[in-house]
Copies of this chain bind each other. A is one copy, B any other.
Amino acid sequence: MKFSPLVDELIQALKCLPGVGPKSAQRMAFQLLERDRKAGQSLGHALSKAMSDVGHCQSCRTFTEEVHCPICASHKRGQSQVICVVETPADVLAIEAGGHFSGRYFVLLGHLSPLDGIGPDELGLALLEEHLASGEVSELILATNPTVEGDATAHFIADMAKSHQVIVSRIAHGVPVGGELEYVDSTTLALSFNGRLPL
């Protein structure tokens, strides 16, 4: 039943959010209309503003509404000789939450995926190569995901970095701390054996 075009439009629009189907879209729309129109207004405003004004850092490609993101713009980290390469801005947040990495980042915004038309250009690898060629980078830490595409992307970038005499490493993959061996999948287990370190 189309009992209100505006409400129907809102329910349809909410389905663009990941993990939101027709039922939860309806629940969300009704909850905002019934109980929190102010929050709904704020969300509408935040969405419009972010979608139109958020761009990408000209140095690392993460999201920012400035020319450079705070990390690249910072005096301390923006000049770091260590660059960590990740697939997404969410990965940057995850690593920053850990608080142990003090270099800068390069965000690919994806991984090599020829079938989807995602090649070196889409990942901004020319910009990364500029950084490498500048002589201001001593180490590249590859933190792409341990998937087929993430692996391929890491190897592609590793080859590129080596031609610029930059040290390349990849973060370790293995059994997570607190994880129980018997519940870890076999691929992870294989990686943790291959990456074993002498004690």
Interface, chain A (partner B; CB < 8 A): 1-7, 9-10, 12-14, 16-19, 24, 26-34, 36-37, 39-54, 62-65, 69-71, 88-90, 92-93, 96-97, 109
Contacts and interface: CB of A to CB of B under 8 A. Distances in A.
Contact of A16 (B2, B39, B51): B39
A103 to B, nearest CB: 14
11 contacts: A1-B70, A1-B97, A3-B63, A6-B49, A6-B65, A7-B63, A10-B46, A13-B45, A32-B50, A33-B54, A45-B48
A7 B71 contact: no
A144 to B, nearest CB: 16
Please tell me how many copies of the chain the complex holds.
2
A7 B50 contact: yes
B18 A28 contact: yes
Contact of A44 (B29, B45, B54, B93): B45
A67 B48 CA distance: 29
A17 B39 CA distance: 9
Given A44-B45, A46-B10, A109 B39 contact: no
A96 B1 CA distance: 7
A44 B42 contact: no
A79 B54 CA distance: 52
